[in-house]
Amino acid sequence: MEPFKKITGIAAALDRENVDTDQIIPAVHLKRIERTGFGQFLFGAWRFLPDGQPNPDFELNNPGYKGATILITGRNFGSGSSREHAPWALLDYGFRAIIAPSFAEIFHKNCFDNGIVPVHLPQDQVNRIMIKAKEEPGYQMTVDLEACELRDESGLVIPFTVHNDPQTHEFRRQCLLDGMDDIALTLLHEDKITAYEELHSPRPV
């Protein structure tokens, strides 16, 4: 997993609440065995018209959001099924951070396991930067995980957390900084695992 320290990029506004995982990556596209390649199908039912052409009314098709790496959205983002394809699609599309008032629990955990920073902010702060991103397509922000701050060129500075529990916040923050998912964390104890397996493996008769 790629470590996350700090990024500066375009922030795209998706002003919708309760966006579920089937809207993020429709089930019809869950046919790949790789983790990559899902970005082309991200928000597929919204991004494209029935004839396959881009839907000009869908927020993320705004030309000013091209190349966006930060997504600003509404509460309860990532609800619905537990499919890990949702963060895979977001990451493959180019998003490295998602700013929202709240996240669905399993999606939230899947973000940590795939190197996406889930930025928790109060609703009024989300509204503030959502307006900026809507009114100024191409608006850029910095997501600084080392300082746990959002910043922009106008002097905006907003502290954030990645988890509402302070201890979990610090643990998950450090994992993102180090690029450590659950498998990598487990392998830190590989010597103990090997010793246990050797101790408890069947003995030859």
Structurally, how many domains does the chain consist of? 1
Kindly state the average pLDDT of the residues 85-110.
96
Q: Is residue 84 part of a domain?
A: yes
pLDDT digits (tens, 9 = 90+) for 18-74: 999 999 999 888 877 778 899 999 999 999 999 999 999 999 999 999 999 999 999
Main-chain dihedrals φ then ψ at residue 54, nearest 5 degrees? -60, 140
Task: Report yes or no: 5 and 146 within 8 Å, Cβ to Cβ.
Answer: yes
Q: Is residue 110 part of a domain?
A: yes
pLDDT digits (tens, 9 = 90+) for 103-145: 999 999 999 999 999 999 999 999 999 999 999 989 999 999 9
Q: Is residue 205 part of a domain?
A: no
Among 87-96, 110-119, 178-187, 194-203, whose mean pLDDT is lowest? 194-203
Q: Is residue 93 part of a domain?
A: yes
- With a cut of 70, say whether residue 189 has pLDDT above it: no
The pLDDT value given to residue 180: 83
The pLDDT value given to residue 90: 97
CATH code where residue 65 lies: 3.20.19.10
Supply 128's token pair: 């503030």
Q: Helices 105-113 and 85-93: crossing angle, nearest 10°? A: 50
Main-chain dihedrals φ then ψ at residue 59, nearest 5 degrees? -50, -50
Q: Is residue 50 part of a domain?
A: yes
The CA-CA-CA angle for residues 31, 95, 137, to 5°, reads 125
Q: What's the pLDDT band for 159 if we cut at 50, 70, 90?
A: very high
User: CA–CA separation, 118 vs 121, rounded Å?
Assistant: 10
**SS3 of residue 145 by DSSP:** coil
User: CA–CA separation, 144 vs 133, rounded Å?
Assistant: 18
Q: 90 lies in which domain range?
A: 6-200
Distances 26 to 23, 44, 50, 96, 108 between C-alpha atoms, Å: 6, 7, 14, 20, 19
